[in-house]
Chains A and B, each alone.
Chain A
Amino acid sequence: MASEDYAKKLGAEMHAISVAQFFEKNKHLLGFDNLTRALLTSVKEAVDNSLDACEEADILPEISVQLQQIELNRYKMIVEDNGPGIIPNKIGEVFAKLLFGSKFQTFGGKQGRGQQGIGISAVVLYAQNTTGKPARIITKTKSAKQATVVEVKIDVMKNEPIILSQTTIDWKNEHGTRVEVELEAKYVEKKASVSEYLKETAIVNPHASIKFVDPKGNREVFKRVTDELPKKSEKMKPHPYGMELGTLERLLKATNARVLSSFLTTEFDKVGSTTATEILKAAGLDPKIGPHFVTIEQADKLVKAMHGAKIQSPSTSGLSPIGADILKKSLESEYKLDFACSVTRTPSVYKGNAFVVEVALGYGGELDIEGPISLFRFANRVPLLYQQGACALTKAATTTSWKNYGISQSGSNMPTGPLIVIVHVASVWAPFTSESKDAVASIPEIVKETKLALQECGRLLSVFIGKKNRSHLAAKKKEMFKNYSIELARELSKLTNQDEKKLLAKLLEIAQEMYKSGQLKPEEEEAQLAQIEKRKVGAFKKDKDEDGDDYE
């Protein structure tokens, strides 16, 4: 008995230590390593939670984010949504128990924003650690008459919620949840700011309406672009392509299937009995072997046969791409542009995980003509704001030859010009370089798909830029004739004492008539002008005449 008590005590201690230490040790990985970042991470976790909750309940999200400065480096964050609300006895678990989420999966699964489910409770823990204040939650489900108000902290020893108070109030909202936390933080206005994050979030969540009130009381509204909710993602089985030996061994041990053939048909995506037979035949394995008895050599043969088999592309039911049209519309609603285009690739697979890449380009308009382009990276509808350099999506963007599409670029650097590039990767298991989910790992398949998508959009862009250059040349030509006419009229007038203004008027008149009568053909002229322009920027001017050094 005594030993059993001891074991229980030890278990509790280990657990307690792990939660408290987990956060301290992983602060940097979780996105709380500095005050600016902590604020952004907090907003991000709360907004992700709200979006996920709304989508689960088929509600078009309306989210408001408010930041209030309490004192230097101390802010109050209020995030309110119109989600389904939380039933009172689950509030503590949702907000004050780490690793509570149902999203934490070891393999396969479905596309979601958080993936680890550590999100909002980590924010509550961070707030509690830095200000000592509990989180205040107001939530109401549709059926409840009143909203529940809870003040909650985390028992860091036990990883359990501590409910400090619980009351009910009348609430203006039919349903939804409001989170208030006070935390040590620093608010910045430029790059990687809360506003920037929300704007980017709005772009990839065009079905959401997001309002933001900054610490100075300025309001920003990111409007809803579509009333269509994202397709609900489903839990997905792994696809045989890209399956690794270690993972396969785990699956073999865990399966309930009694023979290999049914193991293949039940545990994998797109594998029917015909495909299963083919795979096993290629592997030289008896379909009747029990999965638990497969040796490592046999498993290795099985993996190789899986990779070599002809199997349909992975199902995309677990994926929720934004859709090219909506992404484009969304981009256009956030920026004044001259041109936008987008593409959603067909799903592809890496290491047995389905993924799909989407790209949208925005060009011209209010965008900065000089300086590097803006690259916005997203994974599963979440903006990636940090570690741009370490990200596979950045690598794909910089190794694309933008010069082919009329955008300046030197070497494999970030191109320059008035261009926004949006890259979105949707996957049931988006591969990040670290837990803070700032950068997509360099998976060759993902880089390749991203480049193909960028190239596809690039070609559309180059058509537009070509047209734009032509109209630019037309304007330039008109200006050119006008200016040269002014010069010519003046010189002729000086030579002959004729009236300069009359000469100029007549010259401009002739130009117009010549275009009307078709004596001057704009297309030909523009082609010629383009040649002249090209020569100017091209090689050095010839400093010798064609017969050599013979000017004098």
Chain B
Amino acid sequence: MIMNKKQDDKNVAEKIDDLAKDTIKSIEAGSNPDITFPLRGLSNVYFDETMKMVKLGDKTQTRNFFNVGQAKKFMQTFLVARVIKELVKENITAPIRSIYYNTKHTIGDTSEETWEDQSESDPIIEDLEITLGSLREELHVRAGQKGSMVGNLTIIDAGDTIDLRKMGSGGWSIPSIVEKDIIKFKECEADYILFIEKDTIWSRFNEDKFWKKNNCIIMHGGGQPPRGVRRLVRRMHDELKLPVYVLVDNDVYGLYIYSVIKQGSINLAFESERMAIPEARFLGLSSFDQEKYKLPDNVTLKLKDIDRKRISEVLAYPWFKKKQWQDELKHMVEKGVKLELEALSAKDFKFITEKYVPEKIKKKEWLV
């Protein structure tokens, strides 16, 4: 394991050096330096029918230095590459936000900054991952922590043994890098994983000791789950052979979170094979739940224009073509409303933990 890691580091440093050397070579030859890397975005992803996940296509994109629209990004790529090489050499990790601050400075005697905000530096880091063909953790880069977990499971986190049955009300905070050299699974009695969209509802489940009563693991990713959370669910699914149930709001964003866990995302399509769980089960909320559970109209929220726009985009994605997903979204549009998980409290505060989830699992009322 340790040997492996050293090997990785050497590779990353070497790959960055190669990138720099190639660029210097073209500069010395008097030509316009360029970097070629796979194109990211909707135009270069496809749905792999056999693997059941969103994968990156083979379209590439060439970034030239002497091009008005690309010059800054080209320069920024090397700014980040140099910092990553330093991180690797010193064997420390840094959050993506620190990389942003570390490389942010005023250019020359202009008033222009190397970055305007972090939304500019994050994609450059992703570009580098894909260009170097290295995982983010191999680049010693991590995201901010988001997401918690508790359940009938003991793990080892960076050498410390952690009993996830004794994590109090806040739970164990899921780190950004969860590879085997950091996180190991020790004892697990749980039968399944319940993945919940938001922390507030997760707290409800933890307070009711849902995981104890139902012998499972409960976790959340604080909205759209970060890569660490997605990777950890996938590892538990693979290595502990646990089925994954997903509980999200009944809106297009909730359904999309399920889809990202299930088959991956467009932006990180190159990571799908390490993260996607095609067998993940959609528990709810379903667009048909309001009728089914006789929820009053006053707990629904009206769809906004932006919701409808997003729904029509998602309806067109090939991995949403299956009839059940089309039905879910179309029914949402027909009703013109969306439903939050909290809306189930209209019945009873414990309705969601004592009736809704256990019954749906028991009656196998989920979609895959």
Partners in one complex: yes
Q: Which residues of A contact B (CB under 8 A)?
A: 477, 479-484, 486-488, 491-492, 494-496, 498, 503, 506-507, 509-511, 513-514, 519-520, 525, 528-529, 532, 541, 543, 545-552
Which of A480, A488, A552 lies in contact with B227, CB distance below 8 A? A552
Is there a chain A Cβ closer than 8 Å to B2's Cβ? no
Which of A477, A510, A513, A550 lies in contact with B268, CB distance below 8 A? A550
3 closest residue pairs by CB, A with B: A547-B266, A491-B78, A552-B226
Which of B42, B72, B79, B114 lies in contact with A547, CB distance below 8 A? B42
A546 to B43, CA, bound (A): 10
Contact with A along B46-88 (1 / 0, CB 8 A): 0000000000000000000110110110110011011001000
Is B266 touching A511 in the complex (CB atoms < 8 A)?
Answer: no
Is B28 touching A506 in the complex (CB atoms < 8 A)?
Answer: yes
Is A488 touching B224 in the complex (CB atoms < 8 A)?
Answer: no
Contact with A along B71-112 (1 / 0, CB 8 A): 110110011011001000000000000000000000110101
Interface residues of B in 225-262 (CB under 8 A from A): 225-227, 253, 256, 260
Contact with A along B164-205 (1 / 0, CB 8 A): 000000000000000000000000000000000000000000
Is there a chain A Cβ closer than 8 Å to B31's Cβ? yes
What are the residues of chain B within 8 A of A482 when measuring CB–CB? Answer: 108
Is A492 touching B20 in the complex (CB atoms < 8 A)?
Answer: yes
Is A484 touching B107 in the complex (CB atoms < 8 A)?
Answer: yes
In the complex with contacts A545-B267, A548-B256, A503-B27 CB distance below 8 A: yes
A79 to chain B, nearest CB (A): 52
A521 to B197, CA, bound (A): 51
Is A532 touching B24 in the complex (CB atoms < 8 A)?
Answer: no
Query: 4 other contacts beyond A484-B74, A498-B24, with CB at 8 A cut-off?
Result: A483-B110, A487-B79, A552-B226, A552-B227
Which secondary structure dominates where chain A touches chain B?
A: helix
Interface residues of B in 94-148 (CB under 8 A from A): 107-108, 110, 112, 114, 116-117, 119, 122-123, 143, 146
Is B107 touching A483 in the complex (CB atoms < 8 A)?
Answer: yes
Is there a chain A Cβ closer than 8 Å to B265's Cβ? yes
B32 to chain A, nearest CB (A): 7
What are the residues of chain A within 8 A of B42 when measuring CB–CB? Answer: 546-547
What are the residues of chain A within 8 A of B116 when measuring CB–CB? Answer: 541
Is A514 touching B32 in the complex (CB atoms < 8 A)?
Answer: yes
Is B27 touching A551 in the complex (CB atoms < 8 A)?
Answer: no
In the complex with contacts A511-B66, A525-B68, A552-B224, A488-B117 CB distance below 8 A: no
In the complex with contacts A487-B75, A541-B119, A551-B267, A507-B110 CB distance below 8 A: no
In the complex with contacts A509-B30, A519-B32, A491-B75 CB distance below 8 A: yes
Best-buried of A480, A492, A513, A547 by chain B (most CB within 10 Å):
A547
A194 to chain B, nearest CB (A): 42
Contact with A along B261-298 (1 / 0, CB 8 A): 00001111000000000000000000000000000000
A493 to chain B, nearest CB (A): 9
